[in-house]
Structure 1
Amino acid sequence: MILSIDTSTTVCSVALHEGDKLLGCYELYTERTSAAMLTTLIDNVVRHTGHELSALDAIAVAKGPGSYTGLRIGVSTAKGLCFALDKPLLAINTLQALTEQVRLLPHPQPLPLKQGEGGFYCPMIDARRMEVYCAMYDADGREVQPTSAQIIDEQSFAEWLERGSVLFFGDGAAKCRPVLGNHPNAQFLDQVVQPSARTVGALASVAFAEGRFENVATFEPYYLKEFMTTVPKRLVV
C-alpha cells in the first residue's frame, strides 16, 4: 500500500494505491493550497478509504522538476512521514508521471506514424518566459531524451519532429504552440493536463516491486535549475 504526493506544480494531490489498484485520490486546483491543505488531504485519503497511516508500506513523491516551493513542501512532507512511520521513500519524475497520465487518455494509440516510425510524447512544465522543463518519451512511455530546461524557439525539437509526430502537453505547451504549431508533425492536446498523484502512485508501485528506494536522509527534490533570487541593492547616502 503506497501513499503518493504530488505538489510539483500549483496542483496539490495525494493518492492511495494498493498494488496497482487506486483506492482514493484527492486533488486541489487552487493555487497556494499545498502547504495549508496537504496534511489534510493525506489524512482524508487514508481515513476515507478505511485505512490508517500505520498500514502503509511506502511513501511516494513527485520529485520534480517543477515549482521550487511546491517541491520542497511535498518532499519534506514525504520524508517526515517516512521518518515518523519508518517507511521507505519512492521518488517519481514529474514529467514521467505526466506522460503516463496522457498515455491513458482516450486518444488514438499509438501516435500517428511517419515513415514507419512511432510518435513521441513531450511533457512540458512552465518555467516562465519562453522556457519549459521537458523530456521526450516514446509511444511506450520509455524515456528517449532526459529531462532538461529548454528555451522555445523555431528550431526547438527539430530533430524529433523530423523523426515522427510529437505530442506536446502540460502547462508549458501553450507557449510552444504559436512557435511550433505550424509544423505538420507537431501535435497539441486541447486540454491542459496537470500532474497528479494518481499516476505517481501507479509508477511508484512498479518502483516498489523493483526495489528502487531513495535514501530518506539525503534525498533532495529534482529542481533541475538553481534557485535564483534577486536581492535589492541598498541605497547608499
Structure 2
Amino acid sequence: MDILEEIVAHKVEELQERMDFIPPRRLYSLVEEQIKKETSAPASMRQALMDSPTGIIAEFKRKSPSKGWIKQEGKASVIPLSYQQRGAAALSILTDTKFFGGYDEYIQQARAAGVTIPILYKNFVIDEYQLFQARYCGASAVLLIAACLEKDKCRDLLHMAHELGLEALLEMHGEEDFEYADIEPDMYGINNRNLGTFVTDVNNSFRLAERLPKGVCTVSESGIGDPDTIRQLREVGFHGFLMGEHFMKADDPGEQLARLIRMLSVER
C-alpha cells in the first residue's frame, strides 16, 4: 500500500472504534443541541480567503508520516491563537491522531483560547460521522480529498457539510481528480504533495492552475515557504495558501508567520 491507502485503511478501523465509543445517534443529537444554542453560523473560510490581502491558511501540524514529529511540544491552546494574532486569514488544524499527532480536541482548545477566524478540519474524511465531529469541535470547514472518495460519495458529503453549516475544500492533486470539480465545492484546492508518496512539488499548482474553474475560491496546499512563491501563485489565480511545516519548524510559528507577512507587504 502507498501512504494514502494505509491512512484510509486505518481510518476505517479508527472510525468504527469512535462510533462504538460515541454512537452516531448520540453525536448527531449533541450537534443538533449545539446548533440550537448558537447565535451565529461558523465563519466563512471562503469569504475570509477572498477578502484577505495574504490568503494565508496557517496550519497547526505537529507530525507527518514522512517527517515524523515536527513540533511534538506544540500546544493547540497557544500556536493557533498566535497565528490569528499575527495575521492568518484562516487556520488548518490536523485532527488525525496516528499519522499526524492531532485530535478533534485541538480545535476545541483553539476556540477556547480565543480563536475566532475560520478553522479547517484537516483529516481524511470518508464518512458523514466525521462531518458531525468537525461541527461539534468548532470547525468552519472540512477537507474532502478526491483521491479518498468516489465522486458520488464526495458530493453527498459536500451536501451534508452544507446542511451542518460547514464549507468544504475539495482537494485535488492530478488531472484525474478534475472530474470532481463539477460538484461545486466552496473552495478548490490543489495539493502539491502526492499523498501516495508524500513527495512535494509546488510546480503542481502552477501546472494545474489553468484547469481550475474561473471565478471560484482556489487554494494551493503544501510546499510553500517564501513570499515570492505566494506572489507567483496569486498571479496565476490562487486566493489561499495553506502552509504548515514552514511555520511549525520555527521556534515561534506565529512570529515566522508575521515575518512572512511583513515580507509580502514589502513586495506589495
TM-score by length of 2: 0.25
Structure with higher RCO (Cα < 8 A, 6+ apart)? 1
Higher normalized helix content (fraction of residues):
2
Which of structures 1 and 2 has the bigger CA Rg?
1
TM-score by length of 1: 0.27
